[in-house]
Structure 1
Amino acid sequence: MKNFALIGAAGYIAPRHMKAIKDTGNNLLAAYDNFDSVGILDSHFPDADFFVEFERFDRHVDKLKRNGQKIDFVSICSPNYLHDSHIRFGLRVGADVICEKPLVLNPWNIDALKEVEKEHGKRVYNILQLRLHPSIIALKKKIEEGPKDKIYDIDLAYITSRGHWYYTSWKGDVSKSGGIATNIGVHFYDMLTWVFGGVKKNVVHIHTHDRAAGYFELEKARVRWFLSINADTLPESVKAKGGRTYRSLTMEGEEIEFSDGFTDLHTKSYEHILTGMGFGLEESRKSIEIVHDIRYYKPVGPQGEYHPFVKMGLSTPPVILID
């Protein structure tokens, strides 16, 4: 049994990590979050110590270590811009680290963390869950066994509706989240480059507060992509059913179904890591380079090869009320 500590216990994704720790037969000793809405701990690890101040969490982890109760893994579900710092903390306390996507916001952060890994003799693993999705594994196998010189035409659309709260939170701050493409797109970019190879060309068509779209030329694919958090961009068929999320991945016009099977991917990721096969720092590089470039490239608008959803009317950023 391995001992875990968790940073970022009150967020949306943390329960999946708690479940993964429990499902793999391990124990959560301590958790930290600025916010104290963490009743979910009762469903998984009611005996875990919880802290709302990082300094006290740090002291507790050090105390556990000195008393012979070593932390084997630190799991990180904190806001994107804090990942780099929290990864360093985990390595310094002598633990391996499991970090949510995006691993970091900039490619050079990866280089620095590789040095910290060497200093402490520990590993950093990223949750790249789509690499473990059965449909994506089957797709990769199909491409590897297909014609070596074929270039595939891919369309990707992912719409996950968010309310006005999003813009008040850290997720609405580009300096903290990295923007739409980083926050909700990074694991799709990882999946695409894992299956179809590295980026030869990267064009950004739109990149606003609520959507992003662009075009990649990969080694084995031409990809038109569209991401959005605005419910107005949902297809009418989804709106009619009251849906709030839309995922579509087509290859040569044929739909690749991967909407299902997400529930247990974090547990699969933990199993993968615990058996020594996790995805490390270098395997995150391509997707981090992509989101960094998207963040700084100037959008060219609807020209060239662009996703059909690009021509939807743009929206005005919501006004954040300050009483």
Structure 2
Amino acid sequence: MKNFALIGAAGYIAPRHLQAIKETQNTLLAALDKFDSVGIMDSYFPNADFFTEFERFDRHIEKLKRNGVLLDYVSICTPNYLHDAHIRMALRSGAHAICEKPLVLNPWNVDALQDIENETGKKINTILQLRLHPSIIALKERVQNQPQNTKHEVDLTYITSRGKWYDISWKGDESKSGGVATNIGIHFYDMLSWIFGAAQENKVHLREKHKAAGYLEFENARVRWFLSIDENDLPQTIQEKKQRTYRSITVNNQEIEFSNGFTDLHTLSYQEILKGNGFGLSEAKNSINIVHDIRNNGIVTQGEKHPFLNV
């Protein structure tokens, strides 16, 4: 049984981490969040110590260490811009880190974290659960069986409606979240680079607060992508069903069905991490490079555009 701490216990994604820690038969010693709406912990680890101030949490971890109780892992579910600092705290506490995506916001942060890994001998793991999804694994296998110079035609569309709260929260602040492409798109860019190889071209056709679109060319794919949190972008058929999310990936005009099978992927991720098979800094860097360029590249009007931009 491994000892865990968790930072960001009140966040949206924290219950999946709590569940994964419990389902892998491990224990949570302490949790931290500046918000105290963490009753969800009663369903998993009611006896875990809870803190709303980082300083007291840090002191508690240090006291445990001095009393011979060592942390094995720190799970990090905090806002994107805090990941770097919390990963460093985990490693310097003598624990491995398990951090939600995006691992960090900028490529140079990855290089700096590599130095911390080397200094401490501890591992930084990130959650890239789409790599564990059966439909995505099957797609990767099909692509690998094609001739090496094959260029697949891919359309990626993801619209996940968000209310007015979004702009007030840290997610609406690009300096904290990385913007909409980073916040809701990072796992898709990781999936695409994992399946289709290194990114060769990155053009941005649209970049607004609530939506973004562009063209990515990989070694084995040409990808037109569109991401949005604006419910007005939902296809009419989806709106008529009163649904607020639309997710579609087509490869050579064939829809890839991966709507199901998400519920256990965090637990599966933890199982692999505990076996030493977690996704680390090198696996995370490709998608971090892609979203950094999307944030900073100039807008272009020419080139292959996503169908939603041609309406």
Instruction: State whether TM-score is above 0.5.
Output: yes
Shift of 1:311: 4.3
- Residue 30 of structure 1 aligns to a residue whose secondary structure is strand
Question: Aligned residue for 1:222?
Answer: 222
Q: Could you tell me which residue of structure 2 aligns to residue 164 of structure 1?
A: 164
Question: What are the equivalent positions in structure 2 for 1:135-150 lying under 5 Å apart?
Answer: 135-150=135-150
Residue identity opposite 1:255 in structure 2: E
In the alignment, the residues of structure 1 paired with residue 245 and residue 141 of structure 2 have an alpha-carbon distance, to the nearest angstrom, of 28
* Amino acid in the other structure paired with 1:30: A
Taking the aligned partners of 1:49 and 1:309, their CA distance within structure 2 comes to 49
Q: Hey, what's the Cα distance between the residues in 1 that align with 2:43 and 2:263?
A: 17
The equivalent of 2:123 in structure 1 is 123
Q: CA deviation at 1:149?
A: 1.9
After TM superposition, give the deviation of residue 299 of structure 1 in Å. 1.7
In the alignment, which residue of structure 1 is the partner of 2:56? 56
Cα distance in 2 for residues equivalent to 1:266 and 1:172: 25
1:167-206 counterparts in 2 under 5 A?
167-206=167-206
Runs of 4+ in 1 over 4 A off after TM superposition: none
Mapped partners of 1:263, 1:127: distance in 2: 14
Q: Secondary structure at the residue paired with 1:40? A: helix
What are the within-5 Å matches in structure 2 for residues 74-93 of structure 1? 74-93=74-93
Alignment of 1:17-36 (within 5 A): 17-36=17-36
CA distance in 2, matches of 1:226, 1:260: 21
Secondary structure of the 2:34 match is coil
Deviations 1:267-319 (A, max 9, x none): 11101101110001111110000000000112224x3201111246xxxxxxx
Q: What is the letter of the counterpart of residue 218 of structure 2?
A: L
State the Cα deviation string for residues 61-101 of structure 1 (Å, max 9, x = none). Answer: 11111111111000000000000000000000000000000
TM-score, normalized by length of structure 2? 0.99
Partner-residue secondary structure (3-state), 1:11: coil
Counterpart residue identity of residue 39, structure 2: G
Q: Which amino acid aligns with 1:235?
A: P
Tell me the SS of whatever aligns to 2:37.
Answer: coil
* Runs of 5+ unmatched residues, structure 1: 313-323
| TM-score (ref. length: structure 1) | 0.95
What is the alpha-carbon distance in structure 1 between the residues aligned to residue 310 and residue 143 of structure 2? Answer: 31
Query: Hey, what's the Cα distance between the residues in 1 that align with 2:83 and 2:212?
Result: 23
2-side partners of 1:310 and 1:263: how far apart? 32
Matched, 1:132 2:157: no
How many matched pairs? Answer: 311
Find the aligned partners of 2:132 and 2:309 in 1 and give their Cα distance.
30
Cα distance in 1 for partners of 2:220, 2:62 equals: 48
SS in 1 for 2:248: strand
Secondary structure of 1:58's counterpart equals helix
Residues 126-178 of structure 1, C-alpha deviation per residue, up to 9 Å, x if partnerless? 10010000000000011111222211000000111100000000000000000
* Alpha-carbon distance in structure 2 between the residues aligned to 1:173 and 1:148: 41
2:11 partner letter:
G
**Whole-angstrom distance in 2 between the partners of 1:112 and 1:147:** 37
Match for residue 304 of structure 2? 305
Q: What residue is the counterpart of 2:295 in the other structure?
A: 295
**What is the alpha-carbon distance in structure 1 between the residues aligned to residue 19 and residue 299 of structure 2?**
40
In structure 2, runs of 5+ residues without a counterpart are none
What do residues 209-228 of structure 1 show as CA deviations (whole Å, max 9, x unaligned)?
10011101100000000000
The CA distance in 2 between the partners of 1:238 and 1:160, in whole Å, is 11
For 1:12, the equivalent position in structure 2 comes to 12
